Amino acid sequence: STHASAHFIRNELAKAIRSRGGAHQANSLLGGVDEDGPSMYHLDYLGSLEKVNFGAQGYASYFSLSLMDRHWKKNMTMEEGKELLKLCISQLDTRFIINNPNFRLVAVTAEGKVLDEVLDGHAST
């Protein structure tokens, strides 16, 4: 399950911070759909874990989290979700100093991976 995977990864990350090699320098967002429904987990390279409704890592969080706070609602459809993501990306395009227009979108439902496409950033502005 998603919950179990998230906790497994968290334990590995937490083990690593005090190991000889040091922390795994990777922050992650884990999303999945299982019998309890869809869930998303925000993972830190130190092994902090938080179940979230939406998330962002890296510099994107400074621009996206507020937008998602405002626009995310429970049981959004796939289309509404994509629109919200495109809104976040367009905000990055406007306000973020690093020009990074192309994003890869991956979506998962109860049936499995249903989407794996490249969003052409230039089209979203």
Contact 30, 41 (CB under 8 A): yes
- What residues from 3 to 32 belong to the interface with another protein (CB under 8 A)? 10, 13-14, 17-18, 22-23, 25, 27
Site string for another protein, 100-119 (x = CB under 8 A): --------------------
Task: Provide the minimum distance between the beta carbon of 111 and another protein in the complex, in angstroms, as a whole number.
Answer: 29
Backbone φ, ψ for residue 83 (5° rounding): -60, -40
The terminus-to-terminus CA distance of the chain in angstroms comes to 37
Distance of alpha carbon 119 from alpha carbon 90, whole angstroms? 11
Q: In what order do the strands lie in the sheet with 37-43?
A: 28-34, 37-43, 49-52
- Residues 42, 85, 88, 92: which binds another protein (CB under 8 A)? 42
Nearer to another protein by Cβ, of 95 and 122: the residue is 95
Contact residues for another protein (CB under 8 A)? 10, 13-14, 17-18, 22-23, 25, 27, 42, 44-52, 55, 57-59, 61-62, 65
